[in-house]
A and B are shown apart, each in its own frame.
Chain A
Amino acid sequence: MSTACVELDRVSLSFGSTPVLRELSWRAPAGRITAVLGPNGAGKTTTMLICEGLLRADAGQVRVLGLDPQHDGAALRPRVGVMIQDGGLPVMANARALLDHVSRLYARPRDPGDLARLLGIDGFARTSVRRLSGGQRQRLALALALVGRPELVFLDEPTAGLDAHGREVVWDLIRQLRDDGTSVVLSTHLMEEAEALADQVVIIDRGRVVAAGEPQHLAGAAGHPARWDGPAQEVTLRGRLDPAALGAVRALAQEHDLQVSTGRGLREVFLDLTRQEES
C-alpha cells in the first residue's frame, strides 16, 4: 500500500445534537490527487477543516503527513497549502499586497509575480479584495495556497465560480502539481472535476464514506455493464461484474495491453450511491 499523506480513522463530529461526520475513514495516497466528492452538506468542507487543524473532531484519529493537525500545527503549517471555501481573503487588502505578504511567511516561496502572471492576477493586482469577482477571488486563493511550495495542498472547491477556460487552467495546474510531486486533496461536488483530475475518489454522503477508490474501479465495483476496448477492436461484456470478476478481467486485459472501461461513469455511480443513501 502506498504511503498516505492524509489518513482519517473513524472520525466523528457533531454540531450540537446534529451528527455531521459519522466514523469517517479514508486515506489519500501521497503524490496523488484525491477528490473528496459529495452532495451539498455531505461533510466535505468539515472534513477538510479537520484535516487543516481548524476544527477538532469529537472522536477518531487524523494524520496529515504523519502528524496530528491539532497538536503538531506548527510543524505542519509550513508543509501544507490551504484554499478554503469562499476564499477566506481579507476584504480590506488588495490582491497583490496580500499575495506578497503571504509569500513572506515562507522560507523559499514561489515568486509572487510568476504566480500572479500564471493565474491572471496581474489584471486586478491593485484591486481591493472586496471588489473582486468570485472567479478572481478563487484565483487569488489558489495562488495563496501554492505560494509556499507546499508538499500537500487542500483545495476546497477550487474551481467554484470559474468559467470553462479558467477551470481548464486550474485543472492543468493541479495535474502539474501532482506530476511534480505535490499531494493534492480537493473537495468538489462536480463529478466531471473528480473524473478529470482524481487518482483516488472518496465519496461522502451524510457524513459517511459510501465509496472510495480509483474512479475507474469505483465505476466497475458498482456492478455495472463493462466494455472492453482494445486498440483495434472493441469487445462488449454484457451483464454485471462484481469487483472480483472485474479485477480478473482487468488483469487479463493488462496482459494483452488492452484497456478496460466500464459503461457507466463516476456520475452514475455517485448518483446511485447517494440515492441509495436517501432511500
Chain B
Amino acid sequence: MSAEPVEAGAGRWAPDPGAAPWYRMVLSQALFEVRTVLGHGEQLLLTAILPALFLVVLTTTDVFTLPLAQGQDRIDLIAPGVLALAVLSSAFTGPAIATGFDRRAGALRLLATTPLGRGGLLAGKVLGVVFVQVVQVVLLAGLALALGWRPPPAGLALAVVPFVAGTAAFTALAMLVAGTLRTEAVLAGANLLWVLMAIGGGVLIPSGARWLPSAALGDGLRAAVDLEVGTVGLCTAVLTAWAVAFTAAALRWFRWH
C-alpha cells in the first residue's frame, strides 16, 4: 500500500456525490456480468463450448440415434435443441452459480448499497443474460448454418417468442435457487439440473413432457422453425406460467445475504 501523503484541506476528498443515469448503471452491471461469465472457464464451458460440441457431434455423427421425422435432417432437430440448451446455460446455470457465490460473499448486499440498488442489480443481471445470449446465438446459429441448417426466416422470427419466455422462466428459476439454497447446493444443483434437463428434460430431443419448462423451451423452438404456431403458443404459455411462478417464489423467498 502506498504511503503517498494527502495534502490536508486540498479538497482531494471533498464530497461530490451523484448517481450515474440509470441506463448507464444497468449497462455497466450487464457488461460486468458478461465479462465475469466469459472470463470464467467453467461458465464458458457450459455457455458455449458444450453446446457447440453437442451440435457438431450430434449432427455429424450417428453415434446417437435421434427420433427424426421422415426426411428430416439431423441438423433440423439438433440446432433448435442446442439453442434451447444455450438458454439453459446462460439464463439458469450461469446466473444461479454466480449469484449464489455473490450472495455468500455479501456482494449482493454491497452492490445493493450503491446507486444501482436491488432493482438495478437485477435488471443488470437480466440484461447480462441477454448479452451472453446474443453471443451464443451468433456463435451457435452461425455454426449450425455452416453445418447445413436452413431454417425459414419466419421460423427464426417466431422462435424469438419461446426463446424470450424461456429466458424469463429460467432466469427467475436461477434467482430462486441462488437466493434460497446454500452456495454448495446451488453449485451442485445448477450443474445437475443442466445435465438432467439437457439429457432427459426435452431440451435437446423431444421428451413428450411438455409441461416441464425445459421441454416447453425445446419443443417451442423446434416448433417455431417448423412454423407450428399452435405448438409455439402452447409452449410459450407453459413457459410464461413457470416464469410467473418462479418469479413469485423468488420475490417471496429470495434472501440477499
In the complex, A80→B20 CA distance in Å? 14
Residues A176 and B112 in contact in the complex (CB < 8 Å), given A119-B1, A169-B1:
no
In the complex, A77→B119 CA distance in Å? 13
With most chain B CB atoms within 10 A of its CB, the pick from A73, A92, A118, A173 is: A92
- What is the minimal beta-carbon distance from A65 to any residue of chain B, in angstroms? 10
Residues of B within 8 A of A54 (CB): 109, 112-113, 256-257
Chain B 9-50 interface mask (CB, 8 Å, partner A; 1/0): 111111111111000110011011001100110000000000
Among A88, A105, A118, A176, which residue has its beta carbon within 8 angstroms of that of B8? Answer: A176
Per the 8 Å Cβ criterion, residues 164-190 of A in contact with B are: 165-166, 168-169, 172-173, 176-177, 179-182
User: Are B9 and A104 in contact (CB-based, < 8 A)?
Assistant: no
In the complex, A169→B6 CA distance in Å? 10
- What is the minimal beta-carbon distance from B123 to any residue of chain A, in angstroms? 13
Among B11, B102, B256, which residue has its beta carbon within 8 angstroms of that of A90? Answer: B102
Residues of B within 8 A of A42 (CB): none
Nearest B residue to A148, CB-CB:
B17
Q: How many A-B residue pairs have CB under 8 A?
A: 155
Among B17, B36, B111, which residue has its beta carbon within 8 angstroms of that of A79? Answer: B17
Per the 8 Å Cβ criterion, residues 84-122 of B in contact with A are: 98, 101-102, 105-107, 109-117
Residues A119 and B19 in contact in the complex (CB < 8 Å), given A77-B113, A78-B115:
no
- What is the minimal beta-carbon distance from B5 to any residue of chain A, in angstroms? 8
User: Are A102 and B20 in contact (CB-based, < 8 A)?
Assistant: no
Chain B contact residues (Cβ within 8 angstroms of A): what range?
A: 35 or more
- What is the minimal beta-carbon distance from B20 to any residue of chain A, in angstroms? 6
Per the 8 Å Cβ criterion, residues 189-212 of B in contact with A are: none
Per the 8 Å Cβ criterion, residues 42-84 of B in contact with A are: none
For the residues of B in contact with A, the DSSP-based class is: loop
Residues A182 and B115 in contact in the complex (CB < 8 Å), given A104-B28, A139-B1:
no
- What is the minimal beta-carbon distance from A266 to any residue of chain B, in angstroms? 24
User: Would you call B146 an interface residue if the criterion is a C-beta within 8 Å of the partner chain's C-beta atoms?
Assistant: no
User: Are B19 and A180 in contact (CB-based, < 8 A)?
Assistant: no
Residues of A within 8 A of B111 (CB): 90
Per the 8 Å Cβ criterion, residues 61-81 of A in contact with B are: 73-74, 77-80
User: Would you call A97 an interface residue if the criterion is a C-beta within 8 Å of the partner chain's C-beta atoms?
Assistant: yes
Chain A 218-231 interface mask (CB, 8 Å, partner B; 1/0): 00000000000000
Residues A84 and B106 in contact in the complex (CB < 8 Å), given A53-B113, A90-B36, A92-B98:
yes
Residues of A within 8 A of B40 (CB): 92
Residues A117 and B114 in contact in the complex (CB < 8 Å), given A90-B36, A93-B36, A181-B14:
no
User: Would you call A32 an interface residue if the criterion is a C-beta within 8 Å of the partner chain's C-beta atoms?
Assistant: no
User: Are B115 and A77 in contact (CB-based, < 8 A)?
Assistant: yes
In the complex, A129→B106 CA distance in Å? 13
Residues of A within 8 A of B20 (CB): 104-107
In the complex, A69→B5 CA distance in Å? 34
User: Are B9 and A88 in contact (CB-based, < 8 A)?
Assistant: no
Nearest B residue to A180, CB-CB:
B13
User: Are B101 and A91 in contact (CB-based, < 8 A)?
Assistant: yes
User: Are A180 and B14 in contact (CB-based, < 8 A)?
Assistant: yes
Closest 10 pairs between A and B when the two form their complex, measured CB to CB = A107-B18, A88-B106, A88-B110, A120-B1, A151-B15, A78-B19, A180-B13, A90-B107, A82-B113, A104-B28
Question: Interface on B for A, CB 8 Å cutoff?
Answer: 1-6, 8-20, 24-25, 28-29, 31-32, 35-36, 39-40, 98, 101-102, 105-107, 109-117, 256-257
Question: Interface on A for B, CB 8 Å cutoff?
Answer: 52-54, 73-74, 77-80, 82, 84-94, 97-98, 101-102, 104-108, 117-120, 129, 139, 141, 144, 146, 148-151, 165-166, 168-169, 172-173, 176-177, 179-182
* Interface pairs (22), CB distance under 8 Å: A73-B117, A80-B17, A88-B106, A88-B109, A88-B110, A90-B36, A90-B98, A90-B111, A93-B35, A101-B28, A101-B29, A102-B114, A107-B19, A118-B2, A141-B110, A169-B2, A172-B5, A176-B6, A176-B12, A179-B8, A180-B12, A180-B14
